[in-house]
Structure formats: structure tokens, C-alpha cells
Amino acid sequence: MTRIAVLGAGRIGKIHAANAAASRHASLVVVADPFGDAARSLAEQLGCDAVSNPLDAISRADVDAVIICTPTDTHVDLMLAAARAGKAVLCEKPVDLDIKRADTAVAELEALGVPVMLAFNRRFDPSSIELRRAIDAGDIGDVRQVIISSRDPGLPPLDYLKHSGGIFKDMTIHDFDMARWLLGEEPVSVMAVASRVVESTLSELDDFDTLMVIMQTESGKQCHINCCREAVYGYDQRFEIFGSRGMLLNENLRPTTVRRYTAEQTESRQPLLNFFLERYADAYRAELEAFLTALRDGRPMPVTPKDGRQALKLADCAVESVRTGRMVKVD
């Protein structure tokens, strides 16, 4: 039974706290949030303590592990604080928006030797797990091309976007991680284009809403990613893995399998699950269990801060490619 503190009581914090409270392998001890009300309300609902200062949660003797769901710019400090206190860590993506800070953090975390997992939830979606399992089983031979489509249902509020770090680091970072994981090799070159076809005023933030990336590995495997901040038909999350002996595709999820035929619609289905909290509900649960299992068994974490750093690096390269119009080599 791992005793858990959840730092941050926003929408992701709530998910992790509820999953920790419901897990057979964890007990939720405390929730921390500077907005005391948010923490108190969540704690009351789940039957645990509430504090406003995350450091107070980290330092508690009855806490074995912390889940960091606070704003991005606090990730590094809180990971390090927890790790220095000897607490295991599950930290939301990204490590940081700055690659140098991320590098420094990764180095110190590795030196501390405390178990730290980065929360790339999509790797734990049942479809993703089946894709990876089938690849590992050799069902499609050698991977040749990976195609990732990733579109959000709607543009986030401007206020969110201002602090997001830009679409590549905020949204596409998930796809960069999936690309690495599904390719099974590190991309060595990155090319990208980006535009503002949803919201032209994003130019003021030096940000984009629509993008395409292509990457290639040393051995010649290729990956394409496309993203858009707005898809009227909902949260679109698809993967295609093309290999020497076959191809794997997943589909978007819907609430049920019901299909409808009317005079106006033929074979239409229910709308896609919206948004990530709903679409990846199973993945968040499986992610936490994977963390708890690795902890319990003393085995390596399935996703590491280094993975977070690599995804960030690819995002940086893509941004540079858009800026320079060149292929960017990944160091």
C-alpha cells in the first residue's frame, strides 16, 4: 500500500487523487493546493487531508510518493524537493518548458536515484498497449512509418495559451513521446510547418494552432504528426503503424457501439469521447497502477524524466524548424 500525496487540485489533480483513493494498491493521504478551497473540497470528497503548501505534503512522514499536478513551472522544483526527501514521484508532463532546466533536473534526479516517473498517459491507453504489444510480438515486422493524428476539440482560453509554452511543447509533446515509443528508435531529424488557420491572433503569442511534423530515425524509420487546436467533431486521437509485414490502426473511442440509420444519416455513430479526461480515463488509472507496480517491485519506471526531456527536445527542434525552414538535427 503506497501512501500518496497529490500536489495540485486542478482537473488533472482531481483525476489522480480519485484514482489513488480508489486503487487497491494505494491510499490517498493528502492533497495540496495553494487554493486552499480546491484542496479542501477534494480532500473532503475523497476522505484525506488537505494542505495549501505542497512542501508540507512532501515532508509528511506518512507519505511515500507524490503525484505532481501543479503548473508546469513548478514541476522541476517539486520533483527535486520530493526526490531529495526520498519520496517516489509521478510528475505530469512536461518536465519543464526550458530544455536546459530539464537537462539539469534530469541529471540531478538520476543522481538521486529515487524512482521518478513522467506521466505520459497515452502510453497506458488500452489501444496504445495493444499497438506496442503487437509491434513487440512482431505482428507487423519492422516498423517503417508511424502516423499520429492529434486534434483537440477546441482552442483553450487565451490565458491558458499565454503560459502554455506554445503548441509544440504543450500539445504535441504527447505525440513526440508516442512517436519515440512507437518507433522504438530515436528520431535524428525533425522538420515542421505551422500556421494559424483557427485563430489568427495567435501571432501575438508567437504561437500556432495547426501543424505538421516529419521525423526520421538513423535507420530510416519515419514519423508524421499532425495537430490542430480545434476539431468540430471532437477529440481526435489516432495512430497508424506501418511495418514490413503489416499495419495497425486504432480508432477513436465512442460511448457505445450503436450505429444509426435514418433518412438523413447512414451508419452514423455517437460522438467521440471528449476530452482527454474522459477519453483517457482508463489510461490514467493504468498509468497510476504501472507506477505503483514498479514501485512495489523495485523495477525501473516505465516512463522517466529522461523521456520527458527527449520529447521536449523534439518539440524544440520542431519549433526551430518552423523558424528556420530547415531540417533540424536532434543532438
SS3 label, residue 224: strand
Least distance in Å: CB of 275 to its own copies? 15
Q: Toward its own copies, which CB reaches closer, 159 or 264?
A: 264
In this structure, how many other beta carbons lie within 10 angstroms of the beta carbon of residue 192? Answer: 25
Least distance in Å: CB of 279 to its own copies? 12
Applying the rule CB under 8 A, the residues between 215 and 254 that interact with its own copies are: 215-216, 219-224, 226, 228, 230-234, 236, 240, 242, 244-254
**Segment holding 12, helix H or strand E:** helix 11-22
Stretch in the footprint of its own copies (CB under 8 A) among 7-15, 103-111, 115-123, 127-135: 127-135
* Binding status of residue 27 toward its own copies by CB under 8 A: no
Specify whether 169 is catalytic. no
Least distance in Å: CB of 324 to its own copies? 8
Least distance in Å: CB of 283 to its own copies? 12
SS3 label, residue 138: coil
Stretch in the footprint of its own copies (CB under 8 A) among 64-72, 113-121, 299-307, 321-329: 321-329
Catalytic residue, chosen from 93, 169, 221, 313, is 93
Q: What is the rounded distance in angstroms from the CA atom of residue 328 to the CA atom of residue 331?
A: 9
Q: How many residues bind its own copies (CB under 8 A)?
A: 78
* Cβ-count burial 151-190 (b if 16+ within 10 Å, e if not): bbbeeeeeeebeebbbbbbbbbbbbbbbbbbbbebebebb
Distance of CA 222 to the CA centre of its chain: 21
Q: Toward its own copies, which CB reaches closer, 158 or 197?
A: 197
Q: What is the rounded distance in angstroms from the CA atom of residue 8 to the CA atom of residue 10?
A: 6
Q: Toward its own copies, which CB reaches closer, 61 or 262?
A: 262
Q: What is the rounded distance in angstroms from the CA atom of residue 90 to the CA atom of residue 271?
A: 32
x/- map, 49-88, its own copies, by CB under 8 A: ----------------------------------------
Applying the rule CB under 8 A, the residues between 139 and 158 that interact with its own copies are: 139-142, 144-145, 147, 149, 151
Pairs from 136-142 (Cβ < 8 Å, separation ≥ 24): 138/245, 139/245, 139/246, 139/248, 140/241, 140/242, 140/243, 140/244, 140/245, 140/246, 140/247, 140/248, 141/243, 141/244, 141/245, 141/246, 142/243, 142/244, 142/245
* Binding status of residue 270 toward its own copies by CB under 8 A: yes
Applying the rule CB under 8 A, the residues between 155 and 214 that interact with its own copies are: 189, 191-193, 195-198, 210-214
Q: Are 160 and 207 in contact (CB under 8 A)?
A: no
* Binding status of residue 255 toward its own copies by CB under 8 A: yes
Q: Toward its own copies, which CB reaches closer, 201 or 257?
A: 257
* Active-site residue list: 93
